[in-house]
Amino acid sequence: MDTASSTIQPVIAYIAYTLSTLERGFYKLPGSGVIERYVRSSHQNDPGRTFLELVLIVFVIRTLLQSRTRADKDGQHFIEFTPKEIDELVEEWTPEPLASPLDERDLSDLAAVPIIAGSNGPRPKLVNTGKSAYNLASLNFSGLAGNEHIKQRAIETLRQYGVGSCGPPGFYGTVDVHMDLERDIADFLGTEAAILYAQGFATISSVIPSFCKRGDIIVADRGVTLSIQKGIEISRSTVRWFDHNDLQSLEEVLMSVEKERKKKRGPLTRRFIVTEGIFERDGAMVDLPKLIELKEKYKYRLVLDETFSFGTVGRTGRGLTELYNVSASKIDMLVGSVAIGLCAAGGFCAGSQIVVDHQRINGPAFVFSASMPPLLAVSGSEGINILRSSPSILDTLQQNVQAARSILDRVESITIPSHPASPIIHIHLRTPTSTSLAVPLVKPGSHKPSNPLSPLPRDRPRFDIDIEEKILQDIVEEALAQGVLITKAKRPRGMEISEARPSIRLAMTSALTRKETEKAVGIVKAAIVKVLARRR
Amino acid sequence: MAIRSRTPSSGGSQSMFKKRSTQSLSPTMASAASYLSAVSQADARARTARSPTPTPTATPALSFASTTSSEPTTDIDELDEDDEKFISPLSVPFRPPTSEQVFNTVHTEFGHCASEEFRLTSAHKPGAPIHGHVDKDPPYYILLSTYISYLVLICLGHMRDFLGKRFHPKAYRHLMPHDGYASLNSDFDSFYTRRLKVRMDECFAQPVTGVAGRTIVLLDRVSLDYNRTQVPTGNKTRALNISSYNYLGFAQARGGCADVVEEAIKRYGISTCGSRLEGGTSELHTVAEELVARFVGAEDALISSMGFATNSTIIPALVGKGCLVISDELNHSSIRFGVRQSGAHVRMFRHNDMRSLESLLREVISQGQPKTHRPWKKIMLIVEGLYSMEGTMVNLPAIMNLKESYKFYLFVDEAHSIGAIGPNGRGIADYFGIDPRSIDILMGTFTKSFGAAGGYIAGKKDVIDRLRVKGYSGTYAEAMSIPLLSQVIASMASIMGVTTPTVSSSNSSSTIAIRSHAANGNGHLTDDEYHHPGPVSSKILPSWMTLPPELSSGEEGRTRLRRLAFNSFYLHRGLDKLGFITYGHPASPIVPLILFNPGKMMMFHRMMKDREVPIVVVVVAYPATPLITTRVRFCVSASHTKEDIDCVLRACDEIGDIMDLKHGLAPADRWSIDEICDRAVELVSLPEA
């Protein structure tokens, strides 16, 4: 006992000393008297409260000390291992290969990808065959590719600005020609403002998440293209799907969302309808006036992807708004492609000043990417000037589309889902590729709505991707042998929310005359007939 | 806008720089307050100074001794729009060229510097220790005042919101629900933008014109309504550009590369019309891909038209559900964007901290997937070669060691390091002397060192082929346009050097020979003469492409690399010796200078821009950086001359004294600015601490 108390004594003395030092130190602090009086009186009035406050302080300290990037280490699923066990587990683990090698078909498709020698245009020379061919594959709707005036302006810009802008728009990457093109696009479409992105594909996948956040509602078409799918996915918003290009289905979904909200009495959230003008997947065209009517009725904001309709439809190529004579300012976010519509590069989003300014700070692909090279922006501006001043370009394009459709619509063995005015024409095979996979006939009258939560429609068209792709590739190669370059619509299979039906995608161009178009499409038709006949 | 009159020197261009050093910020401007008032006066002057007569804005106290019309002055009225070369001190080299020196570049784009001593080859010495990222702490009062500034800003902001919504509901209409629509952006989400960023909007999105080379021309603007809008004044200012990602100085409107681009536009047009797999592939794409593969030392490469989209479209094709991505906490937004799209699980480790990485690896491999404890399908580690906000270089040797024991796949984003780092400019692997083929995926961009735009992915042939088919960009995104392709080919070839097929490259340090690809089906990679990292055979380049001899020999490319390394080391060490807190590796062309207080951002930006030789800088704060470490980020370029860096250092020295920024080195160890400028070569060649 004695020894114990003699060892404890200095410890107690030390503690007492420390406490008194702390106390003195505390009283030296200005304002400590107030705290002391407060604690004293509160303890006197309600000793329980002191205890409660102590618990609170401990809790606060614990919360502050907890690391924010905490793993589930303290969770119930964590298993303790000794270092040796971990070593063994590490030793045992064998990862899958980074990428499984491609199969035969992908390899042969890759080898068959057309490579264009020299300038691309209506009749480019191909590296693959060494010959020139009519080009119904490349996206040159307005025929601006290879335009001498645009080339000249691009070279002038090169000599003044160099090639790259070497910086994101926020940090000395906003060049005056970007602002010019933004103004040109806004003027052309009739919106308040527009914002440029460096790549067309990245535009909408960045526009959607810059507005739609967790908890917001997106009502989207089931047939939207991959960039929209990805934008929706990243936004983490609540998604409801409506049947592809079916505005009745859209209205049903809008009503069900409204009903749900009323039932839950949730707060008013942002709501968006996301769809395409001309669908990349099949060339269908949305009924814009009806869409706007619905959007206004149910008070949704509209995100419209005009990638394939800007520069391709309307009298001067202003897109669907010009075709249907609707004011572009009714569309909240109008997304288009400078790369496709104007044969330059990049994409844009047009809308009100508030919409555009918001993206300048919140659009990830805008903020974190280098801005578009100045000479490409100038090419875009020149493209708009040409479209404005020569409506004949779009006339020719429409004539060519009609010419092509009048030939293709008569082919028995194919179906064309595309709108008659769409400059991209998708060709599906009509023949059921295998009897067991026949497309189920939807009985007219027995219409049951699809589940809006699922991206897949209720009556899913069934098709055999492998067989159809094989036939289509044969048609593509047959056409190329006859001097027409066409392409299958390429899809990264297994990466999309639903598989698009295999198709051949023809891209019409105003750079070909009506005669040439008829000839080229005639060859395509012959190739289809020949390949399908061979298979029977 | 000048705060003092822009006094032209009386003794010709040579004395410009000397004079500036003595007369810059005069003692009367010693305090920040007096400076600010001077700035506002200057602003007011500038607004009224649009009178047609070119009256100098000099105050009578300072002599205006211009006698000849050829005097370099920077009076704003003289910045004539039609005049291609503005007469500014930046247009004239510090040392006039001697008769035997011939410069083939425009000085404002790519500075003339003939002095061979201002060159450096930077490479990692094998065995030398690699330091992780060190946070250098400032004194406590700086930390405290930084937190207090944010607190004040936030409180003021909320007060303004509270009052504004009641007294000016119109101005807040877009933040409140109206007509049955929810607000487009909630006031909470946009609080930072509205209440903090707007205050210093003049530092961001500055419109410019011309080449973003050594100098850049600013389109001046003012805000008359507290930064709600910015109005262009119509004036232009040429400023020293230490902000653009122009590491090797290939942002040029003149010279061999620009000539190649012009020729390519004439031959091929602008756009290739469509995606890579659907009729948008030009033969130049295949050339560029072969060249990129050789440049980085990989089997094969694919290119995409946007750097940001390269990551966001390729990562989902590499990993998916059941896979784990381990990501450095400071990885770029495009990587996060891509990883989020992929559906893979993500874990982060502390920035460049190998111990944190190893313990994380041990944990995730032993635990397996959450809840199910199944083993991960794949683990991919994503790091950046050079971090764009910190200037830190990834500790690649340590990661390669870990890779051996933990069997993860390695994805290195070389957006900033490719072209800029390494004795041959081949990026981070080159710097550390590591075989690039031991890295699974090498990604990089063409925006930075090559003066173009777009990105690439390089790796094994079967992986790249798979990405061609399964990556989104091949199917959906527009292919890279012709001007960009030709710029990439020309600039890359001139860094590598070109050999004609008959001359074999015997003296190149051969490490890995590219295997013949003739058997691999594609059949276009046929020569096996290439030795990494050596010159490229002219066989794979387009036959019409002619580079001037100084480019095709690789001589200029090497000079550019050595100039960049010198400038990076010089600025980095110079700032350190002046007593500033900087981050990052001295070999990194990104040099962040830490300011801490958010209020100093705009001051620093303005004081740099309002100097006699205006300097434009990038200032960044939360959320791009941690809350406390607000910083200035310098991006050094090979196009800067030693005198340009002197100029930046001098400016920093003066501003640093005014704004109390020198919290790094103890005063006793610091060097004076003159000492630094005089002993630059010695400073640069100091061994690594």
Task: For residues B183 and B266, state if they share a domain.
Answer: no
Taking contacts as CB-CB distances below 8 angstroms, the residues of chain B near A76 are none
Q: Is the pLDDT of residue A72 over 60?
A: no
**For B665-686, what is each residue's pLDDT tens digit?**
888 999 999 999 999 999 988 8
B175 reaches A (C-beta below 8 A): no
Q: Is the pLDDT of residue B280 over 60?
A: yes
B623 reaches A (C-beta below 8 A): no
Residue of A107, A201, A211, A280 for testing the chain B interface, max B β-carbons within 10 Å: A201
Task: For residues B186 and B283, state if they share a domain.
Answer: no
Q: Is residue B113 part of a domain?
A: no
How many A-B residue pairs are in contact by the CB < 8 A criterion?
376
Q: Sign of dihedral through CA atoms B618, B621, B626, B629? A: positive
Check residue B297 and give its pLDDT: 92
How many residues are given for chain A?
Answer: 536
Task: For residues B422 and B291, state if they share a domain.
Answer: yes
Check residue A75 and give its pLDDT: 62
Q: What is the 3-state secondary structure (H, E, C) of B391-458?
A: CCECCHHHHHHHHHHHCCEEEEECCCCCCCCCCCCCCHHHHHCCCHHHCCEEEEECCCCCCCCCEEEE
The stretch B608-618 carries a mean pLDDT of 93
Residue of B nearest to A103 (CA): B466
Task: For residues B332 and B190, state if they share a domain.
Answer: no
- From B306, B445, B467, residue closest to A199, measured CB to CB: B306
**For A268-308, what is each residue's pLDDT tens digit?**
889 999 999 999 999 999 999 999 999 999 999 999 999 99
Q: Is the pLDDT of residue A249 over 60?
A: yes
Select the more confidently predicted residue: A479 or B99: A479
Q: Is the pLDDT of residue A2 over 70?
A: no
Q: How far is B115 from chain A (nearest CA, A)?
A: 26
Looking at B499, B521, B547, the residue that finishes a domain is B547
* pLDDT class of B70 with cuts at 50, 70, 90: very low
- From A127, A154, A368, residue closest to B483, measured CB to CB: A154
For chain B, positions 381-400, list CB contacts with chain A under 8 A: none
Cis peptide before B623 (omega within 30 of 0): yes
Q: How far is B672 from chain A (nearest CA, A)?
A: 31
Task: For residues B178 and B314, state if they share a domain.
Answer: no
Residue of A nearest to B619 (CA): A171
Check residue B515 and give its pLDDT: 39
Q: Is residue B602 part of a domain?
A: no
* pLDDT class of B8 with cuts at 50, 70, 90: very low
Q: Give percent of chain B with pLDDT exceeding 90.
A: 48
Check residue B47 and give its pLDDT: 52
In this structure, the strands spanning B324-328 and A487-488 are unpaired
Residue of B nearest to A72 (CA): B370
Q: How far is A502 from chain B (nearest CA, A)?
A: 14
* pLDDT class of B92 with cuts at 50, 70, 90: confident
**For A400-423, what is each residue's pLDDT tens digit?**
999 999 999 998 889 999 999 999
Among A184, A154, A199, smallest CA distance to A374 is for A154
Query: pLDDT averaged over chain B?
Result: 82
Radius of gyration of chain A from its Cα atoms, rounded to whole angstroms: 32
Amino acid at B34: S
- From A99, A150, A280, residue closest to B462, measured CB to CB: A99
In this structure, the strands spanning B498-499 and B536-537 are parallel
Q: Give percent of chain A with pLDDT exceeding 70.
A: 94
In the DSSP assignment, the letter for residue A444 is T
Task: For residues B170 and B272, state if they share a domain.
Answer: no
Task: For residues B261 and B173, state if they share a domain.
Answer: no
Query: Which of A74-78, A216-220, B195-199, B322-326 comes out lowest in average pLDDT?
Result: A74-78
Check residue B359 and give its pLDDT: 92
Check residue B177 and give its pLDDT: 82
Q: Is residue B28 part of a domain?
A: no
**For A311-359, what is each residue's pLDDT tens digit?**
999 999 999 999 999 999 999 999 999 999 899 999 999 999 989 998 9
Task: For residues B190 and B281, state if they share a domain.
Answer: no
**For B508-567, what is each residue's pLDDT tens digit?**
443 333 433 333 444 444 455 788 888 888 888 998 998 898 888 889 999 999 999 999
- From A111, A165, A170, residue closest to B212, measured CB to CB: A165
Task: For residues B378 and B457, state if they share a domain.
Answer: yes
* pLDDT class of B39 with cuts at 50, 70, 90: low
B625 reaches A (C-beta below 8 A): no
Q: Do A137 and B365 touch (CB under 8 A)?
A: no
Q: Is residue B171 part of a domain?
A: yes
**For B566-578, what is each residue's pLDDT tens digit?**
999 999 999 999 9
Q: How far is B60 from chain A (nearest CA, A)?
A: 35
* pLDDT class of B82 with cuts at 50, 70, 90: very low
- From A174, A205, A213, residue closest to B206, measured CB to CB: A174
Name A267's Cβ contacts closer than 8 Å, sequence gap at least 6.
none
Cα separation, B242 vs A162, in Å, equals 17
Task: For residues B269 and B398, state if they share a domain.
Answer: yes
DSSP string across B52-107: SS------TTS-----STTS----GGG--SS-SS--SGGGS-SSPPPTT----S-T
Question: CATH number of the domain that B404 lies in?
Answer: 3.40.640.10
Q: Tell me phi and psi for residue A30, to 5 degrees.
A: -65, 135
Check residue B187 and give its pLDDT: 74
Task: For residues B314 and B462, state if they share a domain.
Answer: yes
How many structural domains are present in chain B? Answer: 2
B170 reaches A (C-beta below 8 A): no
Select the more confidently predicted residue: A447 or B68: A447
Q: How far is A355 from chain B (nearest CA, A)?
A: 8
Structure tokens at A20: 């008194």
The stretch B579-586 carries a mean pLDDT of 91
Taking contacts as CB-CB distances below 8 angstroms, the residues of chain A near B476 are 201, 225-227, 280
Q: Do A115 and B316 touch (CB under 8 A)?
A: no
Secondary structure class of B618 (helix, strand, coil): strand
Paired strand residues for A304:
A275, A334
Q: Is residue B445 part of a domain?
A: yes
Task: For residues B293 and B437, state if they share a domain.
Answer: yes
Taking contacts as CB-CB distances below 8 angstroms, the residues of chain B near A179 are 207
Taking contacts as CB-CB distances below 8 angstroms, the residues of chain B near A193 are none
Taking contacts as CB-CB distances below 8 angstroms, the residues of chain B near A135 are 279
Cα separation, B94 vs A217, in Å, equals 61
| Range of the structural domain that residue B391 is part of | 256-547
Q: Is the pLDDT of residue B650 over 60?
A: yes
**For A143-200, what is each residue's pLDDT tens digit?**
998 899 999 999 999 999 999 998 999 999 999 999 999 999 999 999 999 999 999 9
Looking at B194, B209, B229, the residue that finishes a domain is B194
**For B228-249, what is each residue's pLDDT tens digit?**
888 999 899 999 999 999 999 9
Q: Do A115 and B281 touch (CB under 8 A)?
A: yes
Taking contacts as CB-CB distances below 8 angstroms, the residues of chain B near A164 are 212, 250-251, 446-447, 450-453, 484, 487
Check residue B2 and give its pLDDT: 41
Residue of B nearest to A79 (CA): B367
Looking at B547, B577, B598, the residue that finishes a domain is B547
Q: Each residue of A260-286: b (16+ CB within 10 Å) or e?
A: eeeeeeeeebbbbbbbbbbbbbbbbbb
Residue of B nearest to A332 (CA): B184
Residue of B198, B203, B304, B308 for testing the chain A interface, max A β-carbons within 10 Å: B308
Q: Domains, chain A, ranges and CATH?
A: 104-144+392-449+461-535 (3.90.1150.10), 148-389 (3.40.640.10)
Check residue A395 and give its pLDDT: 93
ipTM: 0.85
Name A159's Cβ contacts closer than 8 Å, sequence gap at least 6.
B253, B254, B258, B262
The stretch A85-101 carries a mean pLDDT of 87
Check residue B122 and give its pLDDT: 83
Structure tokens at A239: 């998604």
Q: Is residue B674 part of a domain?
A: no
Query: pLDDT averaged over chain A?
Result: 88
Q: How far is B431 from chain A (nearest CA, A)?
A: 23
Q: Do B340 and A234 touch (CB under 8 A)?
A: yes
**For B369-409, what is each residue's pLDDT tens digit?**
888 888 999 999 999 999 988 899 999 999 999 999 999 99
Check residue B387 and give its pLDDT: 92
The stretch B296-309 carries a mean pLDDT of 92
Check residue B625 and give its pLDDT: 85
- From A93, A211, A301, residue closest to B375, measured CB to CB: A93
Q: Do B465 and A107 touch (CB under 8 A)?
A: yes
**For A15-32, what is each residue's pLDDT tens digit?**
899 989 888 888 887 778
Residue of B193, B220, B238, B271 for testing the chain A interface, max A β-carbons within 10 Å: B271
Select the more confidently predicted residue: A406 or B103: A406
Q: Is residue B80 part of a domain?
A: no
Cβ atoms of A310 and A335 closer than 8 Å: no
First CA to last CA across chain B, in angstroms? 41
Q: Is residue B636 part of a domain?
A: no
Among B218, B216, B185, smallest CA distance to B202 is for B218
